[in-house]
């Protein structure tokens, strides 16, 4: 029994200190871009409420999973506003996307084309309430290597969030000022960024 335990501990230590795990490349990326938001709708479905198209700020942590693929954790923040039709008051509507993604890398001559697909959550926060919903993300982009450690990134990204018709995200005691127009909220972004590879 003691021999089996020693063998298991030895295998575990070998796994922990193997050269493959020590050689994993890690990458941190900061992105900034323009967000294109869908519209909300007022409480009686009689008018659409435009949301402002604000900048988005993102931070991604990635690791090289294979020569042609990365794993990635992405956090993306957008602060936007909308104006209600009741008394023309402007309300804050912030969004934080958090996703785990797989990113495929397709090497071209001068750059790398990327295709990413991820699953995660969307956190909405308004002046009235907050909510968390499941969401997915799809991204297409390019990577230009400036050096062994520095990469310039361009990206087109979309988010699809499954919302709830009965939420109180835009509601107060005397009623709701807005609600989601559809069951799926779809955001689009175009971003640029810099990645640093360790």
Q: What is the mean pLDDT of each run of 10 residues along the chain (198 residues)?
A: 51 48 79 94 86 94 93 96 88 95 93 97 94 97 94 97 87 86 92 96
Q: Where are the domains of the chain?
A: 24-197
pTM: 0.85
Class of the CATH domain delimited by 24-197: mainly beta
Q: Tell me, what's the pLDDT at 84? A: 87
Which residue from 158, 168, 165, 162 is spatially nearest to 180, judged by alpha carbons? Answer: 165
Q: Tell me, what's the pLDDT at 5? A: 52
The token duo for 59 is 């931070």
CB 108 within 8 A of CB 77: no
Q: Tell me, what's the pLDDT at 28? A: 97
The token duo for 3 is 């021999």
Q: Tell me, what's the pLDDT at 10? A: 53
Q: Tell me, what's the pLDDT at 130? A: 93
d(CA 4, CA 52) in angstroms, rounded, equals 63
Q: Which helix (H) or strand (E) holds 59?
A: strand 55-66
């Amino acid at each position: 029994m003691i021999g089996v335990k020693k063998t298991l501990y030895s295998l575990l230590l070998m796994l922990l200190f193997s050269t493959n795990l020590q050689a994993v490349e890690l990458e941190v990326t900061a992105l900034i871009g323009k967000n294109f938001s869908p519209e909300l709708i007022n409480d009686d479905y009689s008018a659409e409420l435009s949301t402002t198209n604000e900048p988005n700020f993102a931070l991604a942590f990635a690791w090289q999973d294979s020569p042609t693929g990365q794993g990635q954790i992405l956090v993306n923040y957008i602060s936007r506003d909308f104006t209600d039709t009741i008394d023309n008051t402007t309300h804050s509507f912030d969004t934080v996307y958090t996703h785990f993604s797989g990113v495929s890398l397709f090497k071209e001559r001068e750059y790398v084309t990327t295709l990413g697909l991820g699953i995660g959550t969307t956190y909405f926060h308004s002046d009235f309430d907050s909510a968390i919903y499941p969401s997915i993300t799809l991204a297409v982009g390019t990577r230009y290597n400036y050096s062994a450690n520095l990469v310039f990134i361009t990206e087109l990204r979309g988010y699809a969030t499954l919302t709830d018709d009965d939420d109180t995200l835009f509601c107060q005691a005397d009623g709701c000022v807005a609600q989601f127009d559809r069951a799926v909220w779809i955001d689009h972004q175009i971003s640029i960024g810099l990645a640093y590879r360790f």
